[in-house]
Amino acid sequence: WPGWGGGSRLRFTPVPPNKDDKVTVPPGYESSVVVRWGDPVLPGAPAFDFEKQTAAAQARQFGYNCDFVSFFPLGKDRALLWVNHEYTNEELMFRGYTGGATATEEQIKIAMAAHGGSLVEIVRAGRSGQWKLETRGSRRFNRRITTSTRMELTGPAAGHPLLRTQADPKGRTVLGMLNNCAGGVSPWDTILTAEENFNQYFGASAGVPAEAQPALARYGISTSALPGRRWDRVEERFDLTKHPNEANRHGWIVEIDPYDPHAAPRKRTHLGRFKHEAANSSLSKDGRAVIYMGDDERFDYIYKFVSTERYHRGSRRHNMTLLDHGTLYVARLTGDSPPAEIDGSGELPSDGAFDGSGVWIPLVRGDKSYVPGMTAAEVLIHTRLAADKVGATKMDRPEDMERNPKTGAIYVALTNNTARTAAQVDEANPRPGNKHGHVLEIVEDRNDVGATKFRWSVPLVCGDPSDPTTYFAGFDKSKVSPISCPDNLAFDSDGNLWISTDGNALGTNDGLFAMPVEGRERGYVRQFLTVPLAAETCGPLITPDQRTVFVAVQHPGEGGTASPENPVSRWPDGDQPRPSVVSVWHRHGKEIGS
């Protein structure tokens, strides 16, 4: 593998930037849709009919805006695919939609049913790396999770008064999950799905009590108006004037067992409450479960959770308790170069790297709080306020975090932060007005994810390579692909980093990129695919046999208009856009990236 210092085995011809309304892959590769918005998930679900949508049908069909993708093999040619449905674009889902205030109640219920996630059985098509939705048979694991699925709150904050409502006076049962963006898979093969921008569903028709306001404000929840979706019109709980604690019951990591269709999803309060993005797991040297998590907001933080007990191979019942007992940490990063050398020009400091050391600051361990003036439950429910008090490092929107299976280093996608001023740059966030984002590399002390200290560096500062503020780990910038707004991360079995983007600020479509992180090709970014108009690239997921990469094409056509300069996407079927998961494979069955 590349760690010896040689080149990578990536040989594909990069895809040039484009504005095409399709998925473009390198020569020799093919792609096809696996499952799209409205496809049947539960046996007996009706076929999709754009003109005759109902909430009852949507609750049995594939939801909208597919994001995180995970893959659970059921044999060589059969698997379960889990997909998050982050949010909805009502303006693309319904003809003549003019907002939540004027929507029909049925439209609001359809949108609510299009949130959550889908678990679907898929089958390999022939001997290639192409996969298709299984539409026959019992599909006994297939499942739809929606805004009305009953879920349990577990861990130290469960039952706390701040989590109690009229409908749930014990504070232990919640309906649904909201805005599930990225996620991860636990070492015991459960889905960890991350509630992100849950704030956008809540508001207040006539204010909230004064004592609730500071926390709501820190989470970006309006206390003076109702949000545009107006879900309160069908469920009062979305109006915080009437049900002030309902928003506290969202913003969690949710654990779902893909092999038990009847088990309630569990909101794991010990992992904290924020705009959760990743939840990627690893095991410490002594066998404890470690979950890495980002809070995707400008100037927010990087977290990790370390379980108290060890993972026991083969003991699912024990492992399913691990996320309820442990320590939640937040990261502080300190640069090792003089601050005066971090001047925003893109020029490296005199030691040759944006790098330094870091510590994991404990916030809470079980019932013990490390934050002055806050109880353990308060730290978990208002994690952002707790992290503000302990001097955590404000980052440029931490999105996905992923551990390299070859080297053990952890990578963080910092998607962008145009609000960072020249006075606010630091060595870990070295660019002011950071509109293209960067990637951070963390190496834990002794390469042990249970450690409380680490080293870090910045191998990639994104953008057009002709822009002097970009940095591609010192690789020849005349050879790399332009890249902007890194969001989701994955690794292939050689330890190459795969980066998908959201919000390409270079004016072309988003896509998927590969970058070796070791050897002489470290920093050699190449674009592997592009997605249709206005879509972001999610997933990505490379199958264990390295023969397929799945990407979720999220919100094709978002923000499009009737003007020729900014057309609405018509992908994938030539009519209204439908968010879809695609599989990509090499025509001759070669490994992805060959």
- Residues within the interface to ligand FEO (CB under 6 A): 86, 181, 196, 277, 296, 399, 487
The listed partner (Ca ion, ligand FEO, none) that binds 461, CB under 5 to 8 Å by sort, is none
The listed partner (ligand FEO, Ca ion, none) that binds 175, CB under 5 to 8 Å by sort, is none
The sign of the torsion formed by the CA atoms of 166, 167, 170, 172 equals negative
CB of 358 to ligand FEO, least distance (A): 22
Q: Which is nearer to ligand FEO, 377 or 552 (CB)?
A: 552
Q: How long is the chain?
A: 594
- Are 25 and 548 contacting, i.e. CB atoms less than 8 angstroms apart? no
The listed partner (ligand FEO, Ca ion, none) that binds 518, CB under 5 to 8 Å by sort, is none
Q: Which is nearer to ligand FEO, 156 or 437 (CB)?
A: 437
Q: Which is nearer to Ca ion, 257 or 558 (CB)?
A: 558
Q: Which is nearer to Ca ion, 24 or 488 (CB)?
A: 488
- CA dist 450 and 126 (Å) reads 43
Q: Which is nearer to ligand FEO, 69 or 306 (CB)?
A: 69
- 3-state SS of 119-158 is EEEEEECCCCCCEEECCCCCCCCCEEECCCCEEEEECCCC
Q: Per the structure block, which two tokens stand in for 239?
A: 């109006």
Q: Which is nearer to ligand FEO, 369 or 416 (CB)?
A: 416
For 47-72, give one letter per residue: b (16+ CB within 10 A) or e: ebeeeebebebbbbbbbbbbbbbbbb
- What is the CA angle 359-364-370, rounded to 5? 75
Q: Which is nearer to ligand FEO, 200 or 284 (CB)?
A: 200
The listed partner (Ca ion, ligand FEO, none) that binds 234, CB under 5 to 8 Å by sort, is none
Q: Which is nearer to ligand FEO, 165 or 484 (CB)?
A: 484
- CA dist 533 and 24 (Å) reads 12
10 Å Cβ neighbour count for 430?
A: 27
The listed partner (ligand FEO, Ca ion, none) that binds 336, CB under 5 to 8 Å by sort, is Ca ion
CB of 460 to Ca ion, least distance (A): 16
CB of 159 to Ca ion, least distance (A): 31
CB of 435 to ligand FEO, least distance (A): 16
Q: Which is nearer to ligand FEO, 246 or 300 (CB)?
A: 300
Among 402, 376, 391, 216, smallest CA distance to 304 is for: 402
- Are 34 and 125 contacting, i.e. CB atoms less than 8 angstroms apart? no
CB of 188 to ligand FEO, least distance (A): 26
CB of 512 to ligand FEO, least distance (A): 16
Say how many Å lie between the first and final Cα of the chain, rounded: 14
Q: Which is nearer to ligand FEO, 181 or 529 (CB)?
A: 181
CB of 113 to ligand FEO, least distance (A): 20
For 108, 210, 217, 221, 225, the CA distances from 214, given in Å and listed in that order, are 29, 8, 5, 10, 16
CB of 404 to ligand FEO, least distance (A): 21
The listed partner (Ca ion, ligand FEO, none) that binds 91, CB under 5 to 8 Å by sort, is none
CB of 308 to ligand FEO, least distance (A): 29
10 Å Cβ neighbour count for 285?
A: 12
CB of 66 to ligand FEO, least distance (A): 12
Q: Which is nearer to ligand FEO, 86 or 494 (CB)?
A: 86
- Cβ neighbors of 479 (< 8 A, separation 6 or more) are 524
List, in sequence order, the alpha helices (H) in 390-498: none
- CA dist 175 and 144 (Å) reads 14
For 52, 121, 255, the CA distances from 71, given in Å and listed in that order, are 32, 10, 15
The listed partner (ligand FEO, Ca ion, none) that binds 39, CB under 5 to 8 Å by sort, is none
- Are 196 and 324 contacting, i.e. CB atoms less than 8 angstroms apart? no
CB of 550 to ligand FEO, least distance (A): 17
Q: Which is nearer to Ca ion, 67 or 134 (CB)?
A: 67
Among 482, 495, 381, smallest CA distance to 435 is for: 482
CB of 536 to ligand FEO, least distance (A): 8
Q: Which is nearer to ligand FEO, 288 or 397 (CB)?
A: 397
Q: Can you give the binding site for Ca ion, defined by CB under 5 A?
A: 181-182, 336-337, 349, 351, 353, 355, 399, 487, 502
The listed partner (ligand FEO, Ca ion, none) that binds 355, CB under 5 to 8 Å by sort, is Ca ion
- CA dist 24 and 33 (Å) reads 13
Q: Which is nearer to ligand FEO, 257 or 277 (CB)?
A: 277
> Quick one: how far is CA 486 from the chain centroid?
11
CB of 193 to Ca ion, least distance (A): 12
Q: Per the structure block, which two tokens stand in for 472?
A: 């591609």
Name the DSSP class of 336. Answer: S
CB of 236 to Ca ion, least distance (A): 30
Q: What is the DSSP string of 365-416?
A: ETTEE-STT--HHHHHHTHHHHHHHTTPPPEE-EEEEEE-TTT--EEEEE--
The listed partner (ligand FEO, Ca ion, none) that binds 441, CB under 5 to 8 Å by sort, is none
The listed partner (Ca ion, ligand FEO, none) that binds 351, CB under 5 to 8 Å by sort, is Ca ion
> Quick one: how far is CA 340 from the chain centroid?
34
Whose tokens are 């002030």? That residue is: 244
For 200, 207, 225, 243, 426, the CA distances from 239, given in Å and listed in that order, are 12, 10, 9, 6, 40
The listed partner (ligand FEO, Ca ion, none) that binds 295, CB under 5 to 8 Å by sort, is none
The listed partner (Ca ion, ligand FEO, none) that binds 196, CB under 5 to 8 Å by sort, is ligand FEO
